Structure 1
Amino acid sequence: MIQDGMLSADQLWRLVQREAENVLAGDPAFGASLSSAILAHSDLGSALAHQIGERLGKSAADRQRFARVAGEAFVASPDLVEAASRDLQSIAVHDPATTTLLPPLLNFKGYIALQAWRLSNWLWRQRRNDLALLLQSLSSDQLQVSIHPSASIGTSVFLDHATGIIIGAFAVIGDEVTILQNVTIGRKHSEPDLAPKIGRGVFLSAGSTIIGNVSVGDFAKIGAGAVVEHDVPAGCTAVGVPARLTNCPETDVTA
C-alpha cells in the first residue's frame, strides 16, 4: 500500500477515505463513527482537528474549541498536516499489528497525542504559551502522554502503546524515532537548560530513561528499562542501569 516514497497529505487522505468507505460497506453499524470522524471531512487536517477535539475536550464546548484551534493552526501551517501524514504512514510501515491507515488514525492514542503536541508546539512558537501548556496537561490526563510544547520532534515518529511517555522541555527528537511505553526523556535538576538529543531512527524500548545533557546517535537502540546518562554513539545499543554500550559498529568498538 505504501511504497518507498512518502505520500503527500492529499494522497494519503484519499486512501483513508477509500478505507473508510470499504469498512462502511462491510460493517454499516460503524457508519456513524466513520461519518463524524472521516467521511464528514474534506481533508486530513479537518479530520485531525476533529480527533484532537474529541480526545482532549472534556465537554462539548471544549471539544469544539480545541477542534477550532487545531483547524486554524492546520490552515495557517500546512506543514503540520504533512508531518501528521508522515507520522501516520510510519505507523503503517513499522507496526506489525497494522498495515492500513484508518485504525491508527481512529484508535491509536499515541498518534493523536503526537499531533496534539504538534499543535501545542505551534501555539508555543506563536507565543500562546498558556493554551499550549493547557493542551500538554490535557494530553497527559486524557492520553497518558506528556510532551512539553518547547520540545522539538521530527517526522515519521511512532509512539507505540503510548502510555506513560514523558518528553520534557527542550528535548530534541529526530525523524523516524520509535518510542515505546513508559519512556522518560528529560533534564537533570543540576542542568536545567540542557536536555537530551535523540538522533534519527533511534528505538527507545519500554521503560527506558534518557536524562540530562546526552546525545543518542542515529539508529541507536536503548534497551528496556535502561537508564542513559552518557552519550550513546550512532548504531550502538545501550542496556542496563546505568546503561552500558553493546553491539556497537566496528569503528566505535575500535575507538
Structure 2
Amino acid sequence: MAGHQHAASHTEGGLLRGKPPSRHMARQHSATGIADLRRGGSGMPHVRTAPELRALALAVKDESSQETLSAPLTRLAQSPFEGCAEEESWHPSQGWRWMSHHLSMDALWAKIREEAEADAEAEPTLASTLHSTVLVHQSFEKTMAFILANKLASSTLLGTHLMRLCQDAYADDPAIIDACNADLQAVIDRDPACDKYTQCILYFKGFQAVQSYRISHWLWKKGRKALALALQSRVSEVFHVDIHPAVVVGRGILMDHATGIVMGETAVVGDNVSMLHHVTLGGSGTGKGIRHPNIGHGVLLGAGATVLGPIHVGNGTKVGAGTVVVSSLPSHSVAVGVPAKIIKTDEKAEPCQSMDQCSGFIHNYEI
C-alpha cells in the first residue's frame, strides 16, 4: 500500500510489558488516546516528542504481572505525524501503533469510495448495493452505521433506530471509529484473503461483529444495559459471534472467519490480537468478580483454542489450534495441547502478524 497518506491519527495503548524485539517494519507512533486501565500504574517510555503519548498507563493486577486493559477507549485532539519517531524495534506485543503505510481517516474514506466506484462500474449487479452502502454517504462513520444497522436490524429492532444509535456512539466517543480504522488496517495487514477495504467492511463478519460489539460496549458504559444486551443477542444470531458488552477489547483486532467465537463478561483482550473461529474465552465459577481470561497484546489464538478462568495469556504468545489453556502463560511463549503445555519461547516471533498456527511444532508434538 505504498503511497498511502498518513496524516492525523489516533491510538489507544493499553497493556504493555516485555522487551521490544527487533521488527522488520518500522512503525509510526500516532497520538490520540490511551485506554484508562482498571488499576493505576506507571507510564511507559514514549518515543515521540508529542506530549499525548504520556497518557499511557500500565496496570499490574498481581505479583504474576497480569496486565489489565480497561474501557473506555479514549481519544486526544488530532495531532499530525510531524515529530513522530520511527520505531525499528517496535513489536506487536507492545500495543497498537499506527504505521506509515496505514491510512488516516480522510485517506481511508477516499480509498473506500474509490474501490466502491470501481467495483460498481465493473460489476453492475452490485452497483445498487455499493451505492446504498458506501457511495451515497458522506463519511466513513455514516457508512459503518448503515452497514451495521442493516446487518443487525430485525422486525422489532428497526434499522433506522440502529443507524441513529451507531451515529450517536461515533459522535459521543470518536475513539470508537478510530478503533474501527485500526481493526480495518489489521485485517488488511494480516489476512491475505483481503485485498480491499470495501471487501472487509461489507463482507467480513468478524470485522462487523467487532464493530457491533464496540457499539454495545459503548451502551454498556452508558448504563444502557438492556439495549446493550439486546444488541449482543442480535450479533450472536446474525454473525454467530458472542461477545458480552462488558468485555474490554483493544485495537487492531482480527477475528478471521469468526464463527463460534465467545468472550465472557469479564474477559480482557489487548491490542493486536488475532484469533480464528471457535475461540472461547470462558469463565470459571459463578462469582461476581473476574472469572474470565486476560489476553495480552500481540497474541495469536488458533482455531478452536479455549482459554478458561481468570488467567493471563502473556504478550506475544501463540496458542495453537485446539489448545485448552487452564493456567497462565508467560509472554512470547508457544503453547499447545490439552491441557496446554509450553513447548518454546521466542521473543522475536510475531504470531499475531504471521497468523501461523502450526509451523515449527505441530508435526513434532503429541497431545
For residues 48-97 of structure 1, the C-alpha deviation after alignment (integer angstroms, 9 at most, x for no partner) is 11111111112386111111111111111111111101101110110011
Structure 1 residue aligned with 2:331: 234
Asked if residue 63 in structure 1 is aligned to residue 159 in structure 2, the reply is yes
Larger Rg: 2
> Could you tell me how far apart the structure 2 residues matched to 1:110 and 1:7 are?
21
Asked if residue 96 in structure 1 is aligned to residue 96 in structure 2, the reply is no
Count of aligned positions: 250
Aligned counterpart in structure 2 of residue 207 of structure 1, from 284, 290, 304: 304
Structure 1 residue aligned with 2:342: 245
Aligned counterpart in structure 2 of residue 106 of structure 1, from 196, 202, 223: 202
Structure 2 residue aligned with 1:8: 104
Q: How does 1:92-171 map to 2 (within 5 A)?
A: 92-171=188-267
Instruction: Kindly indicate which of the two structures has a greater share of residues assigned to strand.
Output: 1
Q: TM-score, normalised by structure 1?
A: 0.94
> Could you tell me how far apart the structure 2 residues matched to 1:92 and 1:29 are?
25
Structure 1 residue aligned with 2:92: none
* Greater relative contact order (CA < 8 Å, ≥ 6 in sequence): 2
Aligned counterpart in structure 2 of residue 74 of structure 1, from 166, 170, 184: 170
**Unmatched tracts of structure 2, length 5 or more:** 5-98, 348-367
Asked if residue 45 in structure 1 is aligned to residue 122 in structure 2, the reply is no
**Unmatched tracts of structure 1, length 5 or more:** 251-255
Residue 188 of structure 2 aligns to which amino acid in structure 1?
A: A
Structure 1 residue aligned with 2:12: none
Identity %, equivalent residues:
37
- Structure 1 residues 60 and 164 mapped into 2: Cα distance closer, same or farther (>3 Å)? same
- Structure 1 residues 163 and 61 mapped into 2: Cα distance closer, same or farther (>3 Å)? closer
* 8 Å contact from structure 1 (residues 220, 234) kept in 2: yes
Aligned counterpart in structure 2 of residue 174 of structure 1, from 252, 270, 274: 270
Structure 1 residue aligned with 2:82: none
Instruction: Kindly indicate which of the two structures has a greater share of residues assigned to helix.
Output: 1
> Could you tell me how far apart the structure 2 residues matched to 1:249 and 1:155 are?
23
* 8 Å contact from structure 1 (residues 9, 81) kept in 2: no
Residue 199 of structure 1 aligns to which amino acid in structure 2?
A: G
Q: TM-score, normalised by structure 2?
A: 0.66
SS of aligned partner of 2:330: coil
